[in-house]
Structure 1
């Protein structure tokens, strides 16, 4: 009798520690056994979350996470070969094809923040080629990894149903599904953000060796080279550490990990500051809008955004209602981290844009979408039955479906980029030895010239009349060109020229030179966004001489 009372008093004392009661009650609510230390009466502080218990079927959380990743990867990869490449993907391809010396020169002047990704893609395309599916495949795999990691992250504090809702919502969030279709580092940044947060939680819970704090710091720094803005996870993680029950024992280790990250990330941050002029063009644009933040940042569709934000608010309200309920302690902690993930990076970038320089771009904050998915899952966790939670997932899927389908149509990128069609049309209209001219009057990401770099087969054997210096012979992203009037001598010996334009009057000056040189328009093909026109030199009449070029 006395021994039982002593054990009871010990456990009561143990559970009296801040926050621990709630996490233990959360485990009881999920049908999990308390740690052995608690059962034996040992006063050693238990970790904030237990290893996941396996149901009788033997399905471990790792196995479920793996299946979640496979399903999400299949969802992400479906149809990724259909859309035409666009300007940012052209930058990826053109950078990845450079030799190492040329790539180093490029990163010394621009795009250093994507250097790790470009280096990886250099190796990748050497192995698999440059077909749209092959080049976008890594993004689809990263998309699946993000969903799997989010399942494991939520599972550290909540039941499997809640974790599945979070992973499912993330895998259907339009900005995330779009990242899966692009040969850009945004899907990698999202996956890295999720797995770094999971690593942090395991470190805070004391389930990883202390040496892994060094790996955490190195991982944060590496993530900054995929997307500089991922470094804004550090204050989010600080919130997670401060609100953790073991904060007194872990804050010092967390500070050390952040210190490692700061040292390793210093070069990339310095490079980003020195290259900030590459986004200077946004000074003339309305960079931050309410619609951009609430809709464009993750949800992209107004109807989905309304429902999603309503669920986020519902999650907050439910957490407040259950603020004294120990069974909600784990979910309250998850929600706090999720809200920090949603709010802090966005607020920082909006403030920097307002006070210093343009820094906000909605799609660059895709790595914060997991926070929204967690908040929605917390709201769904209040529903007791699995089919009720499934209805929320189905509703999100139905609302997101139009965006998902549209992202996998031929002209879905950058207001209708159609470079696949441009290449095919040029191949039909021109023959080896003919000349080609491109409209240079639009912004770099829309220049028709990039069709030649993304779908080169249609341009094989053609003479690029406006090229002065190829991009890989410069320290910039793009080719250096000149108007035809400055290189008119290149028309000698050419009887057919194909002109590709996107802006309404962007190629007028070059066409005027062609007409003066004796060319006439033979065919005009209007594509989704670009126009391809074929010009031939007028045949000379008997006794006449060829007009001067």
Structure 2
């Protein structure tokens, strides 16, 4: 008996529940790191201060910061601030199951959704106070709306698709690479229908189109290229203001990126699975799914290849970062789900899924350790709070480290800030900083970089150079916390120049 449509959504809900459970597991354990710190502070600061912040950085993330403000009004702790990403990850898993069911079979959708939920990269960004998980959910939604628009040939659905693209662009402009994949899908479907109609006309019979395998439609979609182009035009108009606002910050947003190398293809696979071991079975399933996926392949394969396009573009102008491509991972899960669904005997599909999931367990455990983010700002604050003394001062190098560190602000509240003079918005000059050292016995340096004080990043700061060159002060100790570190400079005793210097690494 054919189950009536809409009677149950269990195969689609299960991946969402699994993704949510995995996302909530250990959500409070890792420290906020510098990018998350900006999100938390931007969401919690007065709206006027937020506009001032956006004048200098992160206009491309303005919508995300505004979306976080209701959460920050309740709590700025790790669980609350990361919860929107968990919910978005669950929504993406649900959407993947829906897409798999529409384009292949409900079983393929279920397997794809579960595969997505099991990937370490997915749960890593489910536990991140940044927009990547939400962007991914919107990418899945946009793909589903496009499929419905082509199936129904409805202007309202195409307008809905344009709205999804506007939302996607305002959340993360680089995710608009998805449009390239969608354009390929529409072109392939249009050509397929043209070929079908031409062959039918030649034989003098009505054209035959493939029915949807979930039996929810009598005919396959007949894309309207003109309406698709119109939707892109509408979306472009909605995204243009963001492009104008963000153009002046392009270098600030992208200057840290470098052109990827060929080895980064393999590294991206390892980023998805958390280690080298699950890469091969997952890649084999993706390839098998691309071969056997039918209509699903036409949607998922161009989408899954977007990381390669990003790497190619980055040879001219670097835009590639693995986390920017999280929105392409659902396509790989869809292909893997189709590959699992095609395995015979049918029970081997669950064995294959179990194998991939089992191989990712060590990575899941690792990413939930306290110090596995690029910066362990929480431990840095705890160390500083335990070791500071009354009268201590602080120098932030560069000055934006004051913003990064402030997410755990109790440790810095009683320190005299030598970076800025009271009432000034620009940092002190080297001469002003040296004058401010009068009467100060101990200065904490708070900064970051791959090489402590030897990095070019640190040496560019004129205040820190003035401190290093000041014969009255000596570096007493340093502590590493990922890419962030603190150093303690103390005034030399008047009687002699003997001091000790030690380093610790955490």
Q: Identify whether the pair has TM-score above 0.5, normalized to the shorter chain.
A: yes
1:226 equivalent to 2:184? Answer no
- Deviation of 1:369 (Å): 0.4
Q: 1:436 to 1:373 in 2, by over 3 A?
A: same
How far does the alpha carbon of each residue in 1:397-421 deviate from its partner, in whole angstroms, 9 at most, with x for none?
A: 122222222211112122xx22111
300, 320, 330: which one aligns with 1:338: 300
How far does the alpha carbon of each residue in 1:200-243 deviate from its partner, in whole angstroms, 9 at most, with x for none?
A: 2223222x964232222111111111111222222322333341
**SS of alignment partner, residue 124 of structure 1:** helix
Report what 1:191 is aligned to.
137
372, 394, 404: which one aligns with 1:436: 394
Superposed counterparts of 1:45-124, under 5 Å:
52=5, 54=7, 60-61=8-9, 63-124=10-71
TM-score normalised by length of structure 2 = 0.80
Segments of structure 2 that go 5 or more residues without pairing to the other structure are 191-208, 210-219, 459-463, 496-506
1:141 equivalent to 2:87? Answer yes
The answer on whether the counterparts of 2:151 and 2:223 sit within 8 Å (CA) in structure 1 is no
Alignment coverage as a number of residue pairs:
455
Q: CA RMSD in A?
A: 3.2
Find the aligned partners of 1:484 and 1:273 in 2 and give their Cα distance: 32
Report what 2:310 is aligned to.
349
Segments of structure 1 that go 5 or more residues without pairing to the other structure are 1-30, 34-50, 55-59, 320-330, 475-479, 542-549
Q: 1:423 to 1:210 in 2, by over 3 A?
A: same
- Deviation of 1:367 (Å): 0.1
Find the aligned partners of 1:539 and 1:297 in 2 and give their Cα distance: 50
TM-score normalised by length of structure 1 = 0.74
Superposed counterparts of 1:50-449, under 5 Å:
52=5, 54=7, 60-61=8-9, 63-126=10-73, 128-206=74-152, 210-242=155-187, 243=189, 248=222, 250-282=224-256, 285-292=258-265, 294-296=268-270, 298-317=272-291, 319=292, 331-343=293-305, 345-355=306-316, 357-414=317-374, 417-431=375-389, 433-440=391-398, 447=401, 449=402
- Which structure has the bigger radius of gyration? 1
Q: 1:203 to 1:312 in 2, by over 3 A?
A: same
Find the aligned partners of 2:255 and 2:57 in 1 and give their Cα distance: 14
Q: 1:106 to 1:159 in 2, by over 3 A?
A: same
Find the aligned partners of 2:390 and 2:133 in 1 and give their Cα distance: 39
Which deviates more from structure 2 when the two are superposed, residues 430-439 or residues 363-372? Answer: 430-439
How far does the alpha carbon of each residue in 1:83-121 deviate from its partner, in whole angstroms, 9 at most, with x for none?
A: 122222122233334433343344355422212101112
How far does the alpha carbon of each residue in 1:466-504 deviate from its partner, in whole angstroms, 9 at most, with x for none?
A: 23589xx86xxxxx5447654123234444433445543
**SS of alignment partner, residue 128 of structure 2:** coil
How far does the alpha carbon of each residue in 1:1-25 deviate from its partner, in whole angstroms, 9 at most, with x for none?
A: xxxxxxxxxxxxxxxxxxxxxxxxx
The answer on whether the counterparts of 1:435 and 1:465 sit within 8 Å (CA) in structure 2 is yes
How far does the alpha carbon of each residue in 1:408-454 deviate from its partner, in whole angstroms, 9 at most, with x for none?
A: 1112122xx2211111111112245421234449xx7xx5x455312
Q: 1:282 to 1:463 in 2, by over 3 A?
A: closer
- Deviation of 1:532 (Å): 4.3
